[in-house]
């Protein structure tokens, strides 16, 4: 059984980190740009066959935006993280935990973008509910540009229970909502921290919000009342990064 990984960044990360799983690299015919040459070189260095195809043939392989490159792989066996792994992962850290919690983000494009921001910000793990939420798919991998392989993504059965377990280990939980009294620039985002981002549109669920240690908001100066969840995630994570580097 095989699967497809597409998009320049996702394929590049795959060739660098998991080349043994790649069976063939398909590249759009007559594509001679530097990015394509780099992927072809990586494939050849790992003895992976490279096949040129017309754009129409690549379009038939996947309905998604492939950017002219598709890798055919044996079924990817990514490390599967379970909620039971959280304590040992926290024990292994040599710095204060920095965690992202996604409360029911269902759009795979948003999940991929959140993972990409989490990777860039140095987040140690991303936690999300198992049910009624997006999971890792080929679309998520493509949008995440390799972050789906680099950031541990941990689906949990009971999000509130997991939050309480984090609090018992001195991790403060900051929930994001437009109704918060303090904005994120006023809050203390240093030390052991988990930031909770709510679902698209509805935000955090009531029980999730009630079990946060404090609530924060992104100050909005314009007419728009809220940001897309992936944009809001990036903004909030990097304010925490700024504070933690002071």
Alpha-helical (H) ranges within 122-210 are 138-144, 147-150, 159-168, 206-210
Q: How far is CA 80 from CA 15, 106, 122, 133, 202, in A?
A: 20, 20, 20, 17, 29
**Residue 6: both structure tokens together:** 């597409």
Burial class (CB in 10 A: 0-12, 13-18, 19+), 47: exposed
Annotation-wise, does 227 bind a ligand? yes
Question: SS3 for 89?
Answer: helix
Annotation-wise, does 218 bind a ligand? yes
Give the C-alpha separation, 194 to 171, whole Å: 7
**Residue 141: both structure tokens together:** 């991998």
Give the C-alpha separation, 163 to 108, whole Å: 23
Closest alpha carbon to 71 in 48, 105, 97? 48
* One-letter-per-residue 3-state SS of 35-54: HHHHHHHHHHHCCCCEEEEC
Give the C-alpha separation, 212 to 206, whole Å: 10
CB-CB contact of 155 with 128 (8 Å): yes
Annotation-wise, does 198 bind a ligand? yes
**Residue ranges of the binding site for S-adenosyl-L-methionine:** 198, 218, 227
Q: Which residues are annotated as a binding site?
A: 198, 218, 227
């Amino acid at each position: 059984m095989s699967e497809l990984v597409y998009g320049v960044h996702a394929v590049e990360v795959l060739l660098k980190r998991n080349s043994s799983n790649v069976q063939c690299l398909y590249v759009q015919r007559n594509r001679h740009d530097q990015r394509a040459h780099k992927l072809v070189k990586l494939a050849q260095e790992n003895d992976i066959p490279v096949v040129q195809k017309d754009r129409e043939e690549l379009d038939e392989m996947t309905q998604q935006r492939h950017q002219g490159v598709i890798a055919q792989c044996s079924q990817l066996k990514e490390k599967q993280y379970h909620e039971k792994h959280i304590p040992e992962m926290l024990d292994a850290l040599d710095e204060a935990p920095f965690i992202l919690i996604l409360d029911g983000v269902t759009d795979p494009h948003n999940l991929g973008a959140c993972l990409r921001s989490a990777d860039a910000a140095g987040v140690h793990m991303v936690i999300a509910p198992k049910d009624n939420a997006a999971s890792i798919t080929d679309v998520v991998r493509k949008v995440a540009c390799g972050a789906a392989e680099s950031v541990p993504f941990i689906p949990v059965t009971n999000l509130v229970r997991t939050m309480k377990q984090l609090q018992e280990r001195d991790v403060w939980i900051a929930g994001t909502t437009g109704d918060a009294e303090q904005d994120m620039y006023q809050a203390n985002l240093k030390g052991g921290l988990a930031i909770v981002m709510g679902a698209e549109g509805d935000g955090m669920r009531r029980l999730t919000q009630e079990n946060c240690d404090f609530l924060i908001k992104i100050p909005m100066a314009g007419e728009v009342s809220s940001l897309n969840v992936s944009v809001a995630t990036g903004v909030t994570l990097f304010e925490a990064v700024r504070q933690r580097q002071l």
